[in-house]
């Protein structure tokens, strides 16, 4: 079984709809992240969380919100989806600790906003 | 200027070829450097870290040139299974307990028979 799972894997929605993307992990990691990937651009960080009570904005948080329901669960919401939020979304996790810790990515959610 | 820049490719090479990718970064204070591999429509996975002295893992060699602010990845004896996009990743600084990672857009490699 995958260590980091994301649901749904694909979603097509309309402008103005509320969408929630979910991420679960069984790696026991404290840190979780949400990124988006667009063609020709690198992954960009939306939000990150170091534990259940810790939520931090990344570089492109506008239009998004998150919830860390448990150590293993981190969800991303688009309150009112718009077409330029069409992208591939990845959840990632890493272990606690100073310096770099390898990030482990989920399989991604392909979101299309019409 | 992008913080991390890569040639998008694609690099089309025959099996057995040697291919090299370069990546430049803008933040001279960056301390950590990595190469991730991403297969088509899949998630990125860590390929290797890049150390100041350079490091090798089988057919893969990574090197860092701090003075010129670039990182390289050399793949020898290319295999069909090496076909993927290679992401250059640089530590963008330590802020609020988080070691921010900056991802390049990736270089696509296609190895053909």
Tens digits of residue pLDDT in A50-92: 889 899 999 899 999 999 999 999 999 999 999 999 999 999 9
**Nearest residue, CB atoms, A100 vs list B4, B32, B104:** B32
B87 CB neighbours in chain A (<8 A) are 42-43
**pLDDT mean across residues, chain A:** 93
Q: Is B97 left (phi over 0), alpha (psi -120 to 50) or beta?
A: left
Best CA proximity match to B99, nearest among A110, A92, A3, A114: A92
* 8 Å CB contact of A99 and B32: yes
Cα gap A20→A80, rounded to integer Å: 11
Give how far B27 is from chain A: nearest CA, Å.
Answer: 16
Inter-chain CB proximity B87 and A40 less than 8 Å: no
Q: What is the tens place of the pLDDT at every residue in A10-38?
A: 999 999 999 999 999 999 999 999 999 99
Cα pseudo-dihedral A57, A43, A79, A110, rounded to 10: -150
User: CB-based contact (8 Å) between A87 and chain B?
Assistant: no
Structure tokens at A55: 């939520």
**Best of A100, A104, A111 to mutate (most B CBs within 10 Å, chain B):** A100
Share of chain A above pLDDT 90, in %: 82
The Cα–Cα gap between A76 and A65 comes to 6
CA distance A103 to chain B (A): 8
Write the pLDDT tens digit of every residue in B45-93: 999 988 787 899 999 999 999 999 999 999 999 999 999 999 999 987 6
**A42/B4 CB distance under 8 A:** yes
> CA–CA distance from B99 to each of A47, A60, A80, B34 (Å)?
14, 17, 30, 13
Measure the CA–CA gap between B8 and A39, rounded to whole angstroms. Answer: 11
Helix (H) or strand (E) holding B35: strand B33-38
Would an 8 Å CB–CB cutoff place A8 in contact with chain B?
A: no
Rounded CA-CA distance A74/A68 in Å is 5
- A70–chain B Cβ distance below 8 A for any pair: no
Cβ contact (<8 Å) for B43 and A90?
Answer: yes
């Amino acid at each position: 079984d995958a260590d980091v799972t994301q649901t749904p894997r694909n979603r097509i929605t309309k402008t103005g709809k509320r969408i929630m993307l979910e991420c679960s992990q069984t790696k026991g990691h404290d840190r979780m992240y949400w990124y988006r990937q667009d063609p020709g651009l690198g992954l960009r960080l939306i939000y990150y969380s170091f534990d259940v009570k810790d939520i931090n904005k990344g570089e492109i948080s506008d239009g998004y919100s998150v919830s860390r329901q448990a150590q293993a669960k981190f969800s991303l919401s688009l309150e009112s989806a718009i077409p330029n939020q069409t992208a591939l979304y990845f959840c990632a996790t890493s272990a606690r600790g100073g310096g770099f810790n390898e990030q482990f990515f989920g399989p991604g959610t392909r979101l299309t906003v019409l | 200027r992008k913080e991390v820049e890569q040639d998008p490719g694609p690099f089309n090479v025959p099996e057995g070829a040697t291919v090299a990718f370069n990546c430049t970064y803008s933040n001279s204070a960056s301390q950590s450097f990595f190469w991730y591999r991403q297969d088509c429509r899949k998630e990125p996975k860590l390929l290797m870290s890049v150390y100041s002295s350079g490091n090798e893992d089988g057919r893969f060699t990574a090197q860092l040139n701090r003075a010129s602010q670039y990182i390289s990845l050399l793949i020898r004896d290319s295999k069909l299974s090496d076909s993927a996009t290679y992401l250059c990743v640089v530590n963008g600084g330590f802020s609020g307990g988080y070691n921010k990672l900056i991802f390049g857009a990736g270089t696509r490699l296609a190895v053909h028979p």
